[in-house]
Amino acid sequence: MGRKGISYFGLVAMGVGCMLGTSWLLLTGTWLDTAGGPLNLAVAFALCVVIELPFAFAYMEAIPMLPLPGGEVVYSYAAFGPTGAFAVGWAGILMNTIVFCWVDLAAISLLDELFPVLRETAVLYQVGDFPVTLPNLVLQLALAGAILWVQLKGANVCASLAKIATVVLLVMCAVGLALCFAHFDPAVYAADGGLDFDFSGSAALLSLLVFSVAGWETVSKAAADATGPAARKAGAALITCLFLVTGILCLVSTAVAGCMPWTQAVGRTAPFADVLVSITGQSWVRLLFLGTAFVGAVGVMNSTLYSSAQMLYGLARFALVPAGFTRLHPRYGTPARCIWFTAAFVVVTPFTGKLLFLPFINVASLTTVVMWVMSLLAVLWLRKTRPNLRRPVSMPGGRVTAVLGVAASLFLAGNLLLPMSPGALDGLEYGLAALLAALGAALYRLRDRSVSRVEREKRIFGGALEGEMPATPCKSGKK
């Protein structure tokens, strides 16, 4: 791999860059509509943190326990062996790759808002209700190619791009929030039943939010490329990402509802930007914030492609996929074939318009659940099977957190798999999931079988598990 050099802020930037993206600007109206009002929305955000925190705490323990390239693959291999490691690794690859493709499409949609001629010129064909135009096709492929080039340059360049995108997003969000809350009107917030509480609305939104604020686990992949104190604080960086982004998303929606009756925000492309235009009286403000969201989209693409390539490289190093994926770039030392493979998915995306937009996102939700749940269970199982592993940090809350994590796992799985739940997958989505699972199974069957179990574990752990280091007192929580 490339030279290590990601700082603490770089870790936070990678996580925030993967999480914030465009949702803070483009999804406010959808969230308010789904929740049925701003109070229901605030409750849904609070529940979202409660559900995701046990998984984040599990990562907080796992990262310093096994601070090795591969992230979740390493944790799951230590607990469940090669099959479990491949399952969680492939789930992570699919989740990040699908988000990469989706955000590439979202970024071009933002450009369509800025320059409507792009979606009206040189229409090639129609996919359902969605036109495919030559300018959009070229721009999507060019944007994906630019992000791919950044990835080939190495972790330092990826982190630098993430820092720039994160700073731009945070500054613009802070400025926008300050203006909105300076004009916040409680009467407007309460208008149209804004203070009427209905838990079913919060529950319906929760199904969307859990995955809208996913991405903090990116820190676990970047931790192996961290330097000095940052490597020891990777868990804290992950928790920072979760709270920071969730707070921003909730505040943006609340700010909109306090400056515009929430029912008027429904159906708008960028209600936050529209509110700021109304406050400032300057139409260019909308263009400025659409441009900022585009920067956020670039940040997400950078972080997700980095994560998917890192996980595929980890699987290759551990002889869980064909050995050819271990080939490094001759100049930059980056996993070039892994980057090319994961980026190749985006080649198909522009040609489908928005036809598979929602189905693929729901498949990504399923793979996210697999990754989170297996990582949590790996941490809990390793406490029983490898009690002498060095654990500088333990999950805060101890057994209470573990119980909450299991309950959250059941909730997330049921929400996706039970037919009567609001987030249940449909037939097309099951078909797509099966197709992608079959691709993963084919790669697993083509793995390098000449590598022995002992050699594989040596590659994964570097001998760290031979005899296992004596357990050390944890700095937080209880074992």
- Give pLDDT, residue 231: 61
Q: How many helices (H) and strands (E) would you count in the chain?
A: 21, 2
- Give pLDDT, residue 126: 80
Half-sphere exposure at residue 387, Cβ-oriented, CA atoms within 13 angstroms:
2
Indicate the range of 377-381, 396-400, 418-422, 440-444 predicted with least confidence. Answer: 418-422
The per-residue pLDDT for range 94-112, each reduced to its tens digit, is 988 888 888 888 888 888 8
Mean pLDDT across the stretch 197-204?
86
Sequence-separated (6 or more) residues with CB below 8 Å from residue 54: 376, 395, 397, 401, 402, 404, 405, 408
CA distance 144 to 64: 33
Query: Can you give the residue ranges of every domain in the chain?
Result: 8-458
User: Exposed, middle or buried: residue 476 (CB in 10 Å: 0-12, 13-18, 19+)?
Assistant: middle
Given a cut of 60, whether residue 473 has pLDDT beyond it is no
Residue 451: count of CB within 10 angstroms of its CB: 15
- The secondary structure of residue 130, as a DSSP letter, is E
CATH architecture label of 8-458:
Up-down Bundle (1.20)
The per-residue pLDDT for range 400-437, each reduced to its tens digit, is 888 898 898 888 888 788 887 766 778 888 888 899 99
CA distance 375 to 385: 15
Sequence-separated (6 or more) residues with CB below 8 Å from residue 445: none
The per-residue pLDDT for range 75-88, each reduced to its tens digit, is 898 899 899 999 99
Spatial contact of 267 and 48, defined as CB atoms under 8 Å apart: no
Average pLDDT, the chain: 82
- Give pLDDT, residue 354: 67
For the chain, the farthest-separated pair of C-alpha atoms sits apart, in whole angstroms, at 70
Given a cut of 50, whether residue 469 has pLDDT beyond it is no
DSSP states of 254-273 as a string? HHHHHHS-HHHHTT-S-HHH
> Residue 222: which pLDDT band, with cuts at 50, 70 and 90?
low
Q: Which H or E run contains 274?
A: helix 271-280
The per-residue pLDDT for range 250-302, each reduced to its tens digit, is 999 999 999 999 999 998 888 999 999 999 999 899 888 888 888 888 878 87
DSSP lists the bridge partners of residue 131 as 126
Spatial contact of 96 and 313, defined as CB atoms under 8 Å apart: no
Helix, strand, or coil (residue 47): helix
Sequence-separated (6 or more) residues with CB below 8 Å from residue 379: 58, 61, 62, 65, 75, 79, 395
Amino acid code (one letter) for 64: P
Indicate the range of 47-56, 169-178, 416-425 predicted with least confidence. Answer: 416-425
Query: In terms of residues, how long is the chain?
Result: 479
Given a cut of 60, whether residue 472 has pLDDT beyond it is no
- Give pLDDT, residue 139: 87
Closest CA relative to residue 369, chosen from 174, 178, 95: 95
CA distance 35 to 202: 5
